[in-house]
Structure 1
Amino acid sequence: MSTANTAKLKEQFDAGLETRADFTIDQPTERYGAVDHAVWQQLYARQTALLKGRVCDEFLAGVDCIGMPHDRVPSFDEINAKLTPATGWQIVAVPGLVPDQVFFEHLANRRFPVTWWMRRPDQLDYLQEPDCFHDLFGHVPLLINPVFADYMHAYGRAALAANDAGALPLLARLYWYTVEFGLIRDAASPNGVKIYGAGIVSSKGETLYSQQSAAPNRLGFDLERVMRTRYRIDTFQKTYFVIDDFAQLFGVAQTDFAPLLAKLATEPAFAAGDVLEQDRVITHGSQEGWQADGDI
């Protein structure tokens, strides 16, 4: 989701782009070179081929509806021409990860911050910070889906309140396990799941691991359970939470978060790999390759 004062963000500020108070910039399309467009083309071709049969139908429908170019970094204005009339959302260009408060204010106003710069050719398989491909290809196709779009809007408003109440880690976990690394039930697919989270759909390794590996847990989604569960930022996930359908996220969007945040504020957190007696277990992970520490 978001953070502040990263080295990459400082690098972008030092690059001389005019940055507004809300961290937005005009997409500097003139700065994209042949290498940037080639990286986009390679990643787009790889992921669209890999995701067939693995990602949820709603994501593929969003890709088709938005019509992202396959051979060049997209113009954000062109994307908005399709996105905004559909769900009221628009994407805004930013230099990189932005402060939490700014990020949530954008979401609460149906604006999704998209990093403008592209990763290098030697970073195709792993990138520490989200780039344009992750933000645009990973997140934006589902924002044209009305149910998911409403969930993201409701999340932004709830996260603003949580930030003010000092309960941000609880909402951060919800974002992580849905928007970034969410799975959805599909009985005909490997391990009974398909992919929808942006952190998965933009990653070759996590696409294969999340759906096909025996190592991670796959647990039925439960809001309180998710908000109490730590996660990984340096390796593949130990646990994925699986929604039944997007209507379940719509239900989450209707939640009165204030009393829930107050209730959970003093509850202990679970480790990223825990499986509890009350969990709805879809697959119990083998734990192969798990690291003993590093949960967030």
Structure 2
Amino acid sequence: MAVQPAVYGASERPPRGDYTRAADDYTCAQNWAAYTAQDHDTYHRLYLRQCEQLPGLASAAFIAALPQLGAKERIPRFDDINERLYKATRWQLVAVPGLIPEVPFFQLLANRKFPVTDWIRRPEEFEYIVEPDVFHDLFGHVPLLFNPMLADYMQRYGEGGLKAARLGSCEMLARLYWYTIEFGLIRESAGLRAYGAGILSSHGELPYSVHSPEPQRLPLTLERTMRTRYKIDSYQQTYFVIDSFEQLFQLTEGDFTPLYERLRGLPEFAADERNP
């Protein structure tokens, strides 16, 4: 039976990507030869634009690891990155045709395999795209997979996700991923910085998340984070801040089952609801 794409959030069109190429675990070969000169140019221009504003906004660990992606003039071959990544943290990149369901996603992470969408946005989508593409996944996520603490956190998240799926608690755990790996902030000695991939790959949200007085920035706690809904089509109105990657890793220690049970009886917070 053919695998089916995942749909997250509201959308009037089906998910992009050729899922007929995918194996049962949703992975596929990166068809690097299919990228056009325009595709490589789009990646290059996105890369340069984001690099220009990283100083003073992105976490020091991200900036230090970014060169591990390799040449910025073209879309990298995943196999080339894997040679460096596996030596650093025993992680590997695998190509996927687009968004994939939660359980296969968790399974890949639990096995230290990070799914990377292999297509890139069209030139008219240069400013904004709803679904993650190869630039978002590579530029936003992969550099911090070279960080041992974040790499171990991601594996632990995958293992926890498989358990959450059995307990019917995926939505609560998805919020933790959203507000850390996608839209997390960290307080460093030089000030507030971004480490979330959704921020780091966004030209507009990177300065907004760090400097704008509009959103609230709360210390990360599991309960508040898991009770907070999120939006996929606007800048965040709530960010959660950690003091170190070690803190993030330690938060995932232990059994979440009692936490899930307790949270089911508590009201949720809207994405823009101010902390009382």
TM-score range, shorter chain: over 0.9
**1:286 corresponding residue in structure 2:** none
**1:120 corresponding residue in structure 2:** 122
In the alignment, residue 219 of structure 1 is paired with which amino acid? Answer: L
In the alignment, residue 195 of structure 2 is paired with which amino acid? Answer: Y
**2:92 corresponding residue in structure 1:** 90
In the alignment, residue 200 of structure 1 is paired with which amino acid? Answer: I
Indicate if the aligned counterparts of 2:70 and 2:81 stay in contact, CA closer than 8 A. yes
**2:132 corresponding residue in structure 1:** 130
**1:44 corresponding residue in structure 2:** 47
| 2:6 is the alignment partner of 1:33 | no
Partner-residue secondary structure (3-state), 1:240 = strand
- Within a 5 Å distance, the mapping from 1:138-153 to structure 2 comes to 138-153=140-155
Runs of 4 or more consecutive aligned structure 1 residues displaced over 4 Å after TM superposition: 5-11
Aligned equivalents of 1:184, 1:5: Cα separation in 2 = 29
Indicate if the aligned counterparts of 1:217 and 1:239 stay in contact, CA closer than 8 A. yes
Partner-residue secondary structure (3-state), 1:51 = coil
In the alignment, residue 121 of structure 2 is paired with which amino acid? Answer: R
TM-score with structure 1 setting the length: 0.87
Indicate if the aligned counterparts of 2:69 and 2:143 stay in contact, CA closer than 8 A. no
**1:268 corresponding residue in structure 2:** 267
Partner-residue secondary structure (3-state), 1:204 = coil
| 2:239 is the alignment partner of 1:240 | yes
Structure 2 unaligned spans of 5+: none
**1:12 corresponding residue in structure 2:** 18
Report percent identity of matched pairs: 50
Partner-residue secondary structure (3-state), 2:258 = helix
**1:282 corresponding residue in structure 2:** none
Structure 1 unaligned spans of 5+: 278-296
Aligned equivalents of 1:127, 1:30: Cα separation in 2 = 23
**2:106 corresponding residue in structure 1:** 104
- Within a 5 Å distance, the mapping from 1:58-207 to structure 2 comes to 58-64=61-67, 66-186=68-188, 188-189=190-191, 193-207=192-206
Deviation digits for residues 43-72 of structure 1 (CA, Å, limit 9, x no counterpart): 1111111112210111112113x1421100
Equivalent pairs, count: 268
What is the Cα deviation at residue 187 of structure 1?
A: 5.3
The two structures, once aligned, show a CA RMSD in angstroms of: 1.5
**1:249 corresponding residue in structure 2:** 248
In the alignment, residue 12 of structure 1 is paired with which amino acid? Answer: D
Partner-residue secondary structure (3-state), 2:70 = coil
Indicate if the aligned counterparts of 2:58 and 2:200 stay in contact, CA closer than 8 A. yes
What is the Cα deviation at residue 12 of structure 1?
A: 1.5
Aligned equivalents of 1:233, 1:5: Cα separation in 2 = 12
Aligned equivalents of 2:17, 2:238: Cα separation in 1 = 34
